Amino acid sequence: MTTQNLMNVVEITRFGPPDVLALRQREIPAPKDGEVLIKVEAAGVSRPDVLQRRGHYPPPTGSSDLPGLEVAGIVAACGAGVSAYKVGDPVCALLASGGYADFCVAPVGQVLPIPAGWSAQEAATLPENIFTVWENVFRRAKLQAGETILIQGGTSGIGSTGIMLAREFGATVIATAGTDEKCQACIPIGANATINYKTQDFVAETLRLTGQRGVDVVLDIVGGGYVQRSINCIAIDGRISLLAIQGGDEATFAVSSLIKKRGTVLASNMRPRSPAEKGVIAEDLRRQVWPRLSNRTNFRPIIDRVFKFGEAPQAHERMERGEHVGKIVLVP
């Protein structure tokens, strides 16, 4: 093995706090049939990366053990059967794992071109959040123009993406956040109203803001005790999209309260899905969302802070402290 075949990676040396992340060297992977090798220029930091580092969210069988679910960079090589891209094309990609590295491989169906006018660092903020929000808010919960959505955690990566996409497609947005400063940060990215969930009852406020009607969709990244409160927030025929369990894995709610609302609780995750399933979402994004990104009217990149690979522990510390507004990015 020569030095030309080696790349820098950020490795989880053992499960634990952020300082278990360390810079190491590994062999550059080779793309298999239907895969693209990407020279990584930027990688997004996501909460699943933190869970993986703690030992709570292992990558799917056969995937890299390195963290990192989204990257942007340049196509370095194409495996057999790949015709959609060529060496040198600027791309971003959703991964099952392996993004914290100088090079990574991605199934071609999960690769998208970097939007016109976007840098690699900006494009690295897209894949994980935009795949997740598009699938869960638009494809599954079927948010429509003219409807109202309540988005929990408006300054998170998922939250800020949800706010911007909802406004881009004509919905009204109510966002929650844990400080007045974070609530204020939700306004310029598209929130019509905000609620400080630490100082206000977000259920009462949501009902007040909607004239007691409730919202059509709730994007819930908390789970636990929030499930009943989300039910209390929805209008008749409302939908709750449940994405995470930051508030706990167990929920108790009154079934009658959901029945009275004719409500729907939807739940899903993205990482374990097959490349074919993710490819369907990617194609939908390419047709319906990608043409809207270059104008940056409602949807634009929000980078909180950029860290180098060697500073991955500091990046994870910042995410765990909840200080970020938008996306934390790592660069080689």
**Domain 130-267 fold:** Rossmann fold (3.40.50)
Q: What is the pTM (predicted TM-score) of this model? A: 0.91
Cα atoms in the Cβ-side hemisphere of radius 13 Å centred on 281: 24
Q: Is 181 helix (H, G, I), strand (E, B) or coil?
A: helix
Residue showing tokens 């990366």: 49
Domain boundaries, the chain: 3-126+271-331, 130-267
Measured distance CA(136)–CA(220) in Å, rounded: 11
Q: Are 165 and 140 in contact (CB under 8 A)?
A: no
Measured distance CA(154)–CA(172) in Å, rounded: 14
Measured distance CA(317)–CA(18) in Å, rounded: 6
296-309 mean pLDDT: 91
298-307 mean pLDDT: 92
Fold matches, 3-126+271-331 and 130-267 = no
Provide the percentage of residues in the chain whose pLDDT is more than 90: 84
In this predicted structure, the answer to whether residue 308 has a pLDDT above a threshold of 90 is yes
In this predicted structure, the answer to whether residue 1 has a pLDDT above a threshold of 70 is no
Q: Please report the beta strands in 136-287, taking only residues with DSSP state E, as ranges in sequence order.
A: 148-151, 172-177, 193-196, 215-220, 234-242, 264-267
Q: What is the CATH number of domain 3-126+271-331?
A: 3.90.180.10
Residue showing tokens 């929650």: 176
203-214 mean pLDDT: 98
pLDDT in tens, 39-68: 999 999 998 999 999 999 999 989 999 999
Sort strands 234-242 and 215-220 into parallel, antiparallel or unpaired.
parallel
Q: Are 74 and 41 in contact (CB under 8 A)?
A: yes
pLDDT band at 250 (very low <50, low <70, confident <90, very high): confident
Q: Are 157 and 319 in contact (CB under 8 A)?
A: no
List the beta bridge partners of residue 150: 174, 218
